[in-house]
């Protein structure tokens, strides 16, 4: 498996030990944002013990049809397309996965290294391969923060409501919700299958949400701004069981500059989404299909480790 975590650790250790007065703060930051804290070491076994389906392959895979840009089985249909707009340094390149599900639970989540906790990372493509995915995108990087509601494949992993979340239900509908106004157990009881905790919501009833350029997802140490033209990943809802996933490449003038939050909302709007939600972007923004990374992360073709993925098994 490809892992970049050790390199990040080395760099951060060097930076934090340059000045004695910051040793205490440095040790805290290492513990909180670098050192792995494993809470559950075998997620697949844990989910099986909770009574959720733990299979990582589509039962209908023998009847599945896959091409360079599409996949179809009895539980899902996926179509991949590439869009390039603008010119010169204003060029923007993004990738769209149009996904139709006949079974909403075919859209699953998986954690890096099959473990749940803080600072556990793995490349999107490696997590996808470990779980037999035909399609995957990076998730919400839940492991960077210790807040939010984390429900994955019908199992509650964290119940610390803090922000605007996205809930995927077993009946195929998807909605933005206020994490602080409910509980993880109540959501599961209502039929929630997966949640994402990042944001902001980009579209509501097909309209661009006001104020999305000013949202801060995190205010803790190590937070990075999500404003400006950036690589992005977003989930859009066209209808029940009809989703669009978008990954925008960025920080590569001439190939793809990235987009603002408003620009991302407008892309989702153009694809027919009525609800859309921003998730982890930057170097994490990755789309995987049929054994390969579809996009070009940061214009370098080099993935950045992340905590989790959303995927459909092949």
Burial grade of 273 (CB within 10 A; 0-12, 13-18, 19 or more)? buried
- The DSSP symbol for 295 reads S
What is the chain's pLDDT, residue by residue, as a tens digit (314 residues)?
A: 444 333 333 333 333 344 445 567 788 888 888 899 999 999 999 999 998 754 444 444 568 999 999 999 999 999 999 999 999 999 999 999 999 999 999 999 999 999 999 999 999 999 999 999 999 999 999 999 999 999 999 999 999 999 999 999 999 999 999 999 999 999 999 999 999 999 999 999 999 999 999 888 776 554 455 789 999 999 999 999 999 999 999 999 999 999 999 999 999 999 999 999 999 999 999 999 999 999 999 888 889 999 999 999 99
Task: Reduce the DSSP state of residue 129 to 3 states and report it.
Answer: helix
The residue whose two tokens read 């923004």 is 285
The predicted pLDDT at position 111 comes to: 98
Output the DSSP codes for 52-95.
Answer: S----S-TTGGG-EE-SSEEE-SSEEEEEEEEEES-GGG-EEEE
The predicted pLDDT at position 299 comes to: 84
The predicted pLDDT at position 218 comes to: 72
The predicted pLDDT at position 53 comes to: 58
The predicted pLDDT at position 136 comes to: 98
Query: What residue spans of the chain are helical by DSSP H?
Result: 5-16, 23-33, 43-49, 124-130, 184-189, 261-270
CA distance 101 to 220: 37
The predicted pLDDT at position 19 comes to: 47
Strand residues in 89-241 grouped as ranges (E) = 92-101, 107-111, 116-118, 133-138, 148-152, 155-160, 164-169, 174-178, 192-197, 201-204, 207-208, 232-239
């Amino acid at each position: 498996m490809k892992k970049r975590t050790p390199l990040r650790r080395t760099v951060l250790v060097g930076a934090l030990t340059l000045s004695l007065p910051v040793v205490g703060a440095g040790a805290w930051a290492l513990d909180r944002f670098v050192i792995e804290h494993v809470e559950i070491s075998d997620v697949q076994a844990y989910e099986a013990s909770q009574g959720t389906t733990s299979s990582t392959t589509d039962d209908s895979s023998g009847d599945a049809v896959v091409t360079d840009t599409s996949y179809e089985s009895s539980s899902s249909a996926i179509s991949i397309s590439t869009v390039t707009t603008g010119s010169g340094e204003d060029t923007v390149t993004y990738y769209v996965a149009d996904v139709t599900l006949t079974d909403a639970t075919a859209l699953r989540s998986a954690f890096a290294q099959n473990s749940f906790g803080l600072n556990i990372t793995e490349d999107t493509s490696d997590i996808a391969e470990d779980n037999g995915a035909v399609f995957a995108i990076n998730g919400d990087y839940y492991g960077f923060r210790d807040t939010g509601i984390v429900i994955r494949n019908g199992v509650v992993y964290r119940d610390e409501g803090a922000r605007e979340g996205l809930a995927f239900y077993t009946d195929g509908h998807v909605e933005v919700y206020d994490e602080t106004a409910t509980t993880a157990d109540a959501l599961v009881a209502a039929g929630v299958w997966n949640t994402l905790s990042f944001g902001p919501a980009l579209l509501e009833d097909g309209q661009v949400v006001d104020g999305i350029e000013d949202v801060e997802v995190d205010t803790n140490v190590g937070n990075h701004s999500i404003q400006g033209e950036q690589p992005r990943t977003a989930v859009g809802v066209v209808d029940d069981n009809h989703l669009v996933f978008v990954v925008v490449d960025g920080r590569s003038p001439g190939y793809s500059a990235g987009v603002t939050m408003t620009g991302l909302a407008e892309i989702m709007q153009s694809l027919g989404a009525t609800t859309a939600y921003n998730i982890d972007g930057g170097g994490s923004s990755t789309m995987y299909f049929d054994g390969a990374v579809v996009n070009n992360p940061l214009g370098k073709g080099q993935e950045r480790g992340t905590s989790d993925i959303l995927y459909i098994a092949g």
